[in-house]
Structure 1
Amino acid sequence: MIDMIAALQPLVLGAVLIWSARVKLFSRHAAAAAGRSALVRLLGQHRALPAYRLLGGVELALGALLVLPPALPLEAVAATVLTAGFLAYLTYARHAAPASSCGCLSARPTPVSGRSLARAGLLLAAAGLAWLAGGGWAGALAGRPVAGGAVLVAELAAVVALSPELDAAWLLPLRRLRARLTHPLRGGTGVPLLATVQQLQLSDAYRRVAPLLRSDVREHWDDGDWRFVGHAARYQGRPATAVFAVPLADGEPDAVRVAVVDDATGHTLLSVAAAPPPAGPRLSVAPV
């Protein structure tokens, strides 16, 4: 099984590299993408676009070599060096130029994120695995078409899922479909979400944690007589979720309570209860 997976890695890497090269070499927005990238800080404004185009040429050439037979060990070595360079560059960009755009798989302005780094790590792992390939991807796929196809679909889906610049092509349509099917402005109790949001925004609990919030309503659900509303937050530099508990039967803002939960550990970092505390469920909740 591992031999078959290893043999398919050049195809995965080649497809991703060719797609990335398409953006750098043929997109009419390539100049703008290069100007928004960390290459400007690294090489200077005038060298950013030539370097961006050169990288696209390298990606196209190596991608074609990986996809076309025969499978050579040197190709896996080159892919490992290139993907390690991607990871190093994205790490540099995130820390030295956090406002810069990735410019990797799309010309759409997209800051370097943890997902971008995870994608680079996945490609580096795929390149390392390609060293174990004992033959070409075509033979491996012909020998086990179902298993091989499943591996390819899973890996390419992981690359897409870890690419924020591609969210507009799949994630946003899914969110719109979910909104049409679930009617998110109306909870299961019939109480509009807008009324809940207005109540919590007038509360003392909301005012006390407002500086920590980093998003609008991200998720909400009803549990008995309470509606829980989640916002992305940041507490002492750590990603967190602010979960507000709003009573459905009591429209007073003073009845709202909130807990700020660490996304990594699930521990409650801050809890603000109403005064006097209303009866209701505890807010020891997992992050949304």
Structure 2
Amino acid sequence: MINLIAALQPLVVGAVLIWSARVKLVSPHAAQAANRSALAGLVGQRRALPAYRLLGGVEVTIGALLLLPPVLRAEALAATALAVAFLGYLGYARRAAPTSSCGCLSARATPVSGRSLARAGFLAAASGLALLTTGGWLPALLGHPVAGGAVLLAELAVVVALSPELDHSWLLPLRRLRARLTHPLRGGSGVPLLATVQQLQLSDAYRRVAPLLRSDVREHWDDGDWRFVGHAARFQGRLVTAVFAVPLVDREPDAVRVAVVDDATGHTLLSLAGTPPATGPQLSIVPA
């Protein structure tokens, strides 16, 4: 299996290098991307675009050599050296120019992040693994189409997941789909969370424990006719959770109750009851 994976690395690395070179050589936004990158501080504003284009030329050359047979050790070695150099450049950019853009796989303004560094490290490892191959990627892929296809898809997924500049193509649509499917501002009862928060913030229970709160809503869940809303808080020097019980039927703020629970032990340190509705849990004041 390791021989198959090693044989496919020239295809993976070559494809990524050519995609990266496309941004630097033919993108209409290449000049803006170069000026936003750390190259502007490294070589000067006037030389940033020529250096950016030169890097693209190196990438497309090495990428094409990796894709075209035969695959030579010298080509894999050049790709490894380029990936290691780029890893060093990203480390410099993150330290010396943290607001600069990566300018790697897209012309979008994307600051250098841990994901960018991890992607460069992944490409360096893939290029190094390509040094072990003794044959071309095409015979390996034709000889093991299912396993080879699985390896390529997995590595493509890793590259995409480690590329913040590509988030708009897959991550943001997934988040929008999740929001449409799960309705995060609406509980299972159909009552919007915002309405619950407004009710509890008008309550006497909320006003009495508000000085203890250290966060906005961290979690919420429905149980029968009640919605429970949790906030991080601090009580007598302890990390606690303030859990508000808000009735879903009774809209009166005075019906809201709260319990302060020790995060370390799970013990209830304090509970305050409002004016309870006809049915529902009975909470009484418990001294700390």
TM-score normalised per structure 1: 0.76
- Indicate how the Cα distance of structure 1 residues 124 and 195 shifts in structure 2: closer, same or farther if over 3 A, else same: farther
Contact 1:185 1:193 in 2 (8 A): yes
Residue segments in structure 1 that go unaligned for 5+ positions in a row = 231-242, 260-267, 281-288
1:98 aligns with 2:125: no
Report the AA paired with residue 247 of structure 2: A
**Cα offset, 1:194, TM superposition:** 2.2
**Cα offset, 1:164, TM superposition:** 0.6
Separation in 2, partners of 1:106, 1:40: 17
Alignment-derived partner of residue 114 in structure 1:
114
- Indicate how the Cα distance of structure 1 residues 249 and 156 shifts in structure 2: closer, same or farther if over 3 A, else same: same
**Cα offset, 1:184, TM superposition:** 2.1
SS at match of 2:122: helix
- In the TM superposition, structure 1's runs of 4+ consecutive aligned residues that sit over 3 Å from their partners are 195-210, 227-230, 243-259, 273-280
SS at match of 1:99: coil
Alignment-derived partner of residue 176 in structure 1:
176
Contact 2:260 2:269 in 1 (8 A): no
1:15-39 Cα deviation digits (max 9, x unpaired): 0000000001111111111111111
Separation in 1, partners of 2:78, 2:188: 55
1:82-114 Cα deviation digits (max 9, x unpaired): 101111111111111111111100001111111
- Indicate how the Cα distance of structure 1 residues 221 and 64 shifts in structure 2: closer, same or farther if over 3 A, else same: farther
**Cα offset, 1:140, TM superposition:** 0.6
Alignment-derived partner of residue 78 in structure 1:
78
1:207-233 Cα deviation digits (max 9, x unpaired): 9646xx9xxx8x855264524589xxx
Contact 1:201 1:207 in 2 (8 A): no
Q: Counterparts in 2 of 1:185-204, with a 5 A limit?
A: 185-196=185-196
Separation in 2, partners of 1:15, 1:229: 48
Alignment-derived partner of residue 134 in structure 2:
134
**Cα offset, 1:195, TM superposition:** 3.2
Alignment-derived partner of residue 249 in structure 1:
247
Q: Percent identity?
A: 65
SS at match of 1:226: strand
**Cα offset, 1:43, TM superposition:** 1.5
- Indicate how the Cα distance of structure 1 residues 96 and 147 shifts in structure 2: closer, same or farther if over 3 A, else same: same
- Indicate how the Cα distance of structure 1 residues 274 and 167 shifts in structure 2: closer, same or farther if over 3 A, else same: farther
Separation in 2, partners of 1:66, 1:12: 9
Separation in 2, partners of 1:110, 1:200: 40
Separation in 2, partners of 1:194, 1:148: 50
Report the AA paired with residue 123 of structure 2: L
Residue segments in structure 2 that go unaligned for 5+ positions in a row = 233-240, 274-280, 282-288
- Indicate how the Cα distance of structure 1 residues 37 and 179 shifts in structure 2: closer, same or farther if over 3 A, else same: same
Alignment-derived partner of residue 221 in structure 2:
222
Separation in 2, partners of 1:158, 1:7: 18
Separation in 1, partners of 2:158, 2:54: 27
Contact 2:94 2:112 in 1 (8 A): yes
1:48-74 Cα deviation digits (max 9, x unpaired): 111111101101111101111101000
**Cα offset, 1:147, TM superposition:** 0.2
1:3 aligns with 2:6: no
1:245-284 Cα deviation digits (max 9, x unpaired): 554439589948799xxxxxxxx8x9xx99945699xxxx
